[in-house]
């Protein structure tokens, strides 16, 4: 069990998972499907919402897309052939700009646009711009800039740094193109989807301007109200909150913790539809667990610093007590830096530049 408190959550569908090319209905007009990912976190949950456009045309809205690769395109074609009831996709809604969410948006929008009807991407303006930039440039977790950034924070293994430098097209390989036009999602906006209103809830720390969607007019397989939480609240793992090379002084962890605290305003019985893991109820309990998790990690960092200043790389075995592959190491480095920056902004740690060029953080 990835989280020792997982038994405090309720999984109304038990162990059921949608098989490849199929869906499971989790609330009226809301269908769950799952696509593979080539990482240790090997799947993403995607959602189909029954929809109609302003002209009354019936169809579907897609929420999140999967990465760009042949396997994901093939999986979507299976869904189109068997699960759309002969109706078109009217729009593509993306919670945030990370590759597993935005990757195939360009293909889906082109696939379902006609001369009479555009299939439009809906996303926050911040994440649209971030995705467009990242698809054409080296940013975050790959290339020379990322390697220098990680080296500055103590990752000195030559083989690991060489692999980071080699990933100069990491984002673009999974998001080669972002639609040139979009509809902007903003906090508090109400989207009318298939006769129901979904409220946009912005979140920060994990992505530039993540948008979750909440509908209080739905009762799913359990719970009152449905939250498509994206990556902001996950049931089995903690959301990655990282500092990356393009914003090296960022302090995202307090933003993330404040963002999930905002979700406590939703009913405790809300059915949460996460991007990874299984649909669950127990939103308030999970928020408590995530807040406690980071409080414990802050304490671990401060304890480690008792015997001298520590770099982010020094703290990897403290914060992540399992073997990490390169993909996981880049995310772990970003999250380790995020914990150090959060403690520094609270006045608990102070950065100390070493003669070796490595930045370490010591107790104040």
Choose from 133-137, 158-162, 285-289, 329-333 the range with maximum mean pLDDT. Answer: 285-289
Total number of domains in the chain: 1
| Comparison of pLDDT for 322 and 303, the residue scoring more | 303
In a domain, 323, yes or no: no
Identify the band that residue 219 occupies on the pLDDT scale cut at 50, 70 and 90.
Answer: confident
What is the domain extent for residue 154? 6-303
In a domain, 292, yes or no: yes
The pTM assigned to this predicted structure is: 0.96
pLDDT given for residue 199 in this prediction: 98
- What are residue 53's phi and psi, to 5 degrees? -90, 180
Percent pLDDT > 90 in the chain is 90
* pLDDT reported for residue 2: 46
> What's the mean pLDDT in 215-242?
91
Compute how many other C-beta atoms are within 10 angstroms of the C-beta atom of residue 6.
16
Cα–Cα distance, 166 to 230 (Å, whole number): 29
Q: Check whether 357 has a pLDDT greater than 70.
A: yes
Confidence (pLDDT) at 4 = 64
Q: Is residue 235 part of a domain?
A: yes
Answer yes or no: is 336 within a domain.
Answer: no
Distance CA 343, CA 309 (A): 13
Q: How far is CA 201 from the centre of its chain?
A: 14
- CATH of residue 208: 3.60.15.10
What is the average pLDDT across 112-119?
97
Name the band, by pLDDT with cuts 50, 70 and 90, for residue 140. low
Query: Distance (Å, rounded) from C-alpha 67 to C-alpha 38?
Result: 9
Does pLDDT of 348 surpass 90? yes
- 95-130 in b/e form (b: 16+ CB < 10 A) is bbbbbbbbbbbbbbbebbeeeeeebbbbbbebbbbb
Region 199-212 average pLDDT: 98
In this model, does residue 33 exceed pLDDT 60? yes
Give the span between the Cα atoms of 200 and 188, in whole angstroms.
5
| Average pLDDT over all residues of the chain | 95
pLDDT at residue 141, as a whole number: 63
Within 13 Å, how many C-alpha atoms sit on residue 125's CB side?
A: 3
* Residue 346 within any structural domain of the chain: no
* Residue 77 included in any domain: yes
Indicate the range of 138-142, 262-266, 325-329, 331-335 predicted with least confidence: 138-142
333 within domain boundaries: no
Residue 363 in domain: no
**What is the reported pLDDT for 224?**
78
pLDDT in tens, 145-200: 999 999 999 999 999 999 999 988 899 999 999 999 999 999 999 999 999 999 99
DSSP SS3 for 8: helix
- pLDDT tens digits for range 256-276: 999 999 999 999 999 999 999
φ/ψ region of 244 (left if φ > 0, alpha if ψ in -120 to 50, else beta) reads beta
What distance in Å separates the CA atoms of residue 99 and residue 94, rounded to the nearest whole number?
11
Taking only the tens place, the pLDDT of each residue in 60-105 is: 999 999 999 999 999 999 999 999 999 999 999 999 999 999 999 9
Note the pLDDT of residue 1. Answer: 40
């Amino acid at each position: 069990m990835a989280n020792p408190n997982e038994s405090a959550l309720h999984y109304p569908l038990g162990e059921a998972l949608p098989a490849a090319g199929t869906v499971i209905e989790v609330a009226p007009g809301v269908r769950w499907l799952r696509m593979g990912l080539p990482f240790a976190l090997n799947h993403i949950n995607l959602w189909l919402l029954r929809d109609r456009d302003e002209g009354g045309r019936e169809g579907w809205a897609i929420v999140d897309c999967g990465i760009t690769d042949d396997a994901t395109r093939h999986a979507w074609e299976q869904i189109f052939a068997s699960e759309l009831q002969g109706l078109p996709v009217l729009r593509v809604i993306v919670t945030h700009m990370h590759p597993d969410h935005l990757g195939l948006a360009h293909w889906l929008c082109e696939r379902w646009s006609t001369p009479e009807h555009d299939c439009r991407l809906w996303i926050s303006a911040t994440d649209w711009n971030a995705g467009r930039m990242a698809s054409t440039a080296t940013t975050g977790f790959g290339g020379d800039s990322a390697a220098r950034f990680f080296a500055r924070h103590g990752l000195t293994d030559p083989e690991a740094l060489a692999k980071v430098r080699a990933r100069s097209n990491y984002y673009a390989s999974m998001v080669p193109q972002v639609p040139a036009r979009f509809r902007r999602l903003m906090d508090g906006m109400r989207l009318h989807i298939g006769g129901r209103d979904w409220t946009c809830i912005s979140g920060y720390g994990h992505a530039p301007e993540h948008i979750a969607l909440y509908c209080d007019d739905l009762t799913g397989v359990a719970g009152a109200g449905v939250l498509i939480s994206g990556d902001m609240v996950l049931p089995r793992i903690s959301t990655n909150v990282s500092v990356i090379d393009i914003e090296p002084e960022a302090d995202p962890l307090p933003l993330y913790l404040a963002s999930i605290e905002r979700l406590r305003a939703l009913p405790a019985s809300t059915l949460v539809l996460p991007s990874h893991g299984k649909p669950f109820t127990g939103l308030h309990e999970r928020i408590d667990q995530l807040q406690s998790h980071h409080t414990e990690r802050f304490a671990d960092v401060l304890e480690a610093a008792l015997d001298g200043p520590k770099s982010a790389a020094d703290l990897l075995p403290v914060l992540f007590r399992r073997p990490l592959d390169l993909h996981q190491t880049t995310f772990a480095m970003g999250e380790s830096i995020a914990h150090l920056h959060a403690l520094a902004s609270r006045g608990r740690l102070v950065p100390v530049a070493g003669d070796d060029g490595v930045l370490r953080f010591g107790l104040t």
